[in-house]
A and B are shown apart, each in its own frame.
Chain A
Amino acid sequence: MENANKPYNFKEEMKAMDKKDRLAAGHRMCAGCGGAITVRSVLRSLHEEDKAVVGNATGCLEVSTFMYPYTSYKDSYIHNAFENAGATMSGVETAYNVLKKKGKINDTYKFITFGGDGGTYDIGFQSLSGAMERGHDFVYVCYDNGAYMNTGTQRSSATPKFADTTTTPAGKASSGKVQIRKDLAAIMAAHQIPYVGQTTFIGNFKDIYTKSEKAIYTPGPAFLNVLSPCPRGWGYDPSDMMKICKLAVDTCYWPMFEVVDGKWILSYEPKNKLPIEDFLKPQRRFKHLFKPGNEGLIEEFQRMVDEQWNNLLVKCNA
């Protein structure tokens, strides 16, 4: 592994934070959008001398960063359609291998593709699974904001139970989404690929930076699942995004971990595990859970989180 296991030196890496952004300012993503931060953070971990091809499933990110005739990407970029970011990058990566073999290109390229949870957990799931199984050397990054935000907050299989979305509206006869969310990181780990990471934006961004670097520089397929809050879909003040991410991690709603060659490793264990209400309360999509009489729903939410967290601890042998 090229540099994949070197220790994280904060000062040294903060110099890396001075690297030129590979996603230009001036894109049309919303203020406080987690998706754009995911892209900038992941691309920052590319070594400056390396070239990259960035892929993208259809979604907010695509329509906001490559609106003809302007692109926000310093690197080559390909958007194809909604459900095929995995397959499309398979083709790009294979072309690279054959053209390199034939001596037609000399530069080192890295391949990173971004999809929202709709394009990754749902419609692009088959394409992603196929690409991972075939062992293409690229990173698939899911910027998971828990619903189809580009089309106006419809539920996806990443949407948490009880979330109020436009296709699972909370109402007199509904408490929001009925089903629990799919555990995609575990499903990707079950593909027995060399690297799976789950992260979000915490503190000095050390976690997402190191995981991105590992994902990019580990040979073979890698998958990163990044909780990327959406102020419009979740209903919180955009300036509170970092707080929301911290609460997601400290309530153990969004554990940070990695699976390296099949070994589950916990990246962060909160010293003081917070109750799930702390994460739910600031978000409009869970507002109905705080109506009198719905206490049981929050209790159920807490039980789900606890169960998943305990399962993860067992996997991580922590």
Chain B
Amino acid sequence: MAIRERLSGNEAVAYAIKQINPDVMPAFPITPSTEIPQYVATYIANGEIDTEFIPVESEHSSMSATIGASAAGARALTATSSCGLALMWEELYVAASNRFPIVLALVNRALSGPININADHSDSMGARDSGWIQIYAESNQEAYDNFLQSFRISEHKDVMLPVMICQDGFITSHGVENIELVEDELVKDFVGEYNPEHYLLNSKEPMAVGPYAVSNYYMESKRAQTEALKNAKKVILEVAEEFEKMTGRKYGFFEEYKLDDADYAIVIIGSAAGTCKAAVDDIRERTGKKVGILKIRVFRPFPEEEIAHALRNVKSVAILDRSEMFAATGGPLGAEVTAALYRAGQNKEVVNYLYGLGGRDITVTEFEDVYNELERMAETHEVRDNFKYIGLRE
């Protein structure tokens, strides 16, 4: 029987870590992800898990030690937020290019400055080119479920890439919600033992990690990473299918909420999708207008064709970004979804919004305004500004 509980997002991920019982977890405190290593340290102190915790002196060292542990043959993970992820930047690339199946519990928080501890996606979006798989959650349940699936994806022999499991700071990480947990034994069977193919501590086969590779090898290694990301698409869906058989909860690259018959669609990532769903229900009930949502779960690898296919019948699309990319053209999700539609030959009105930076709230009314704007755009075939802001004081 599944276990019904009430947990915060941080507790939910920590609980998943406890159930997985990984080998090594280096971590450094930072708001709002700090609770995750705190819970893990407590499980260790109470003798509930065998994991070795390394209380490192910085996030750079946290990812460095995670890499060392993973190279040695251990199942290794860490957790961080915001500036912590930024300090790991160099190491994110090292982890991905060395093909270490590390998992990182990321609690999304705005990057400095000004220093701000609240939710936005500038941290993980900044790391979008680092070669990591990125999976996002709307709720505590999704953060937990995604985490349970993470090592199955990262350790798959056709993938062997690090995975970032993202949830929104405070809104998800500290908000307590009802959650359905999977029984320990089922988790153990689902995740399985980690038996690395090559590792430093294999006495039969010494291994060298982290070479200097000049221009006659570098490019092929990058291409190999891309192939692994392509393979990851298949693996992510297979793992999700198996997870659904175990729990009844269905996951894919994204969730389509009332998108089947929709004329107007919002594309969004993370916790704000919940508020957007309330707006969709409200509009449909009140006006009968056909509005829907495409909520991205997997941002890396980017499911370009699948997204374009899901949006093929809508008249206009608003893509909502919770991070800037400072091209002065909008946000990263906006750029990539727009490109996906163009490549699929879809000629429709598209607008990109920036919202919720540094934890600014977004309301049901504001989502309703976006749907109104989408209707106007579709009718007039006029976009006006390609990107604009929600809830910004001018």
Residues of A within 8 A of B (CB): 51, 53, 55, 62-63, 66-69, 71, 73-81, 83-84, 86-99, 101-102, 104-107, 109, 126-127, 129-131, 133-134
Contacts and interface: CB of A to CB of B under 8 A. Distances in A.
A21 to B, nearest CB: 15
B94 interface: yes
B93 to A, nearest CB: 9
A97 B52 CA distance: 8
Given A77-B207, A78-B71, A89-B68, 4 more contacts: A51-B201, A88-B68, A94-B74, A133-B57
B255 interface: no
B120 to A, nearest CB: 28
A26 to B, nearest CB: 14
Nearest to A52: B206
Contact of A94 (B60, B65, B202, B208): B65
A99 B74 contact: yes
Contact of B200 (A74, A76, A126): A76
B142 to A, nearest CB: 29
A251 to B, nearest CB: 36
A213 B292 CA distance: 68
Contacts of B208: 66, 71, 73, 76-78
Interface residues of B, number: 43
Given A83-B60, A98-B23, A92 B211 contact: no
Contact of A84 (B51, B64, B76, B203): B64
B206 A75 contact: yes
B210 interface: yes
Contact of A134 (B55, B64, B90, B207): B55
Contact of A67 (B65, B67, B212): B212
B52 A81 contact: no
A80 B210 contact: yes
A13 to B, nearest CB: 25
B191 interface: no
Interface in B22-76: 23-24, 26, 50-52, 54-58, 60-62, 64-74, 76
A87 B91 CA distance: 12
B209 interface: yes
A305 to B, nearest CB: 33
A78 B210 contact: yes
Best-buried of A79, A84, A86, A107 by chain B (most CB within 10 Å): A84
Given A87-B65, A107-B203, A99 B72 contact: yes
B209 A95 contact: no
Nearest to B65: A91
Contacts of A77: 200, 206-209
Given A90-B61, A91-B67, A98 B74 contact: yes
B217 interface: yes
A98 B214 contact: no
Nearest to A72: B208
Nearest to A75: B206
Given A78-B200, A134-B54, A94 B212 contact: no
A176 B114 CA distance: 40
30 contacts: A51-B203, A66-B208, A68-B212, A73-B206, A76-B202, A77-B207, A80-B67, A80-B91, A81-B64, A81-B91, A83-B60, A84-B61, A84-B64, A87-B64, A88-B68, A90-B56, A90-B65, A90-B68, A91-B24, A91-B71, A92-B71, A95-B24, A95-B74, A98-B52, A99-B201, A101-B50, A105-B201, A107-B203, A127-B64, A134-B55
Interface in B60-108: 60-62, 64-74, 76, 90-91, 94
Best-buried of A74, A81, A89, A93 by chain B (most CB within 10 Å): A81
A94 B24 contact: yes
B58 A130 contact: yes
B213 interface: yes
A91 B76 contact: yes
B210 A91 contact: no
Contacts of B200: 53, 76-78, 92
Contacts of A81: 64, 90-91, 94
Contact of A78 (B61, B90, B203, B209): B209
Nearest to B71: A78
